Amino acid sequence: MRALAPVLVLGLSACVSGIGGGGPTVPDGPIVPILLDTGGIEAVGTGRRIDFGRHQPGVIQTMSRLQRSPPEALTCTDPQITAVTWGDALTLVFRENAFTGWGAVDPSLSFDGRVGYGDVCMGPA
């Protein structure tokens, strides 16, 4: 059994060779590119969508995975509207917990160069 110990240690060290800076880097940005359109959000190349009307928790959970981070909540003046944002680059808007709008700083994220569609979150003055 003692003779196996060095082999076992060598085998395990090969599995964790990324520790200490030698491992692969994780790219910045979304896992899957998105395209914003008049129906909601398309996860490009997957055949999957997040359409308007979907329930807020599921939309936020899915987009958090795609964006690799959780969003920040925004304060909206209309009590029926809530919104979340990922670094001010992408905002999703919900009315009574249903996905009803989006906004983007980068017009290349939308199918036709728009920077917003559907409901908007008006912040406090």
**Which amino acid is located at 79 in the chain?**
P
Please tell me the predicted confidence (pLDDT) of residue 58: 97
For residue 102, the Cα-to-chain-centroid distance in whole angstroms is 13
Residue 109's contacts (CB-CB under 8 Å, 6 or more residues apart) are 34, 35, 36, 90
For residues 58-67, one letter each, b for 16 or more C-beta atoms within 10 angstroms of the residue's C-beta and e for the rest, the string is ebbeebeebb
Tens-binned pLDDT, residue by residue, of the chain (125 aa): 444 333 333 333 333 333 444 544 444 556 788 999 999 999 999 899 999 999 999 999 999 998 889 999 999 999 999 999 998 789 999 999 999 999 999 999 999 999 999 999 998 75
Please tell me the predicted confidence (pLDDT) of residue 28: 56
Length, in residues, of the chain = 125
Please tell me the predicted confidence (pLDDT) of residue 125: 59
Please tell me the predicted confidence (pLDDT) of residue 59: 97
Predicted TM-score (pTM) of this structure = 0.75
Please tell me the predicted confidence (pLDDT) of residue 23: 45
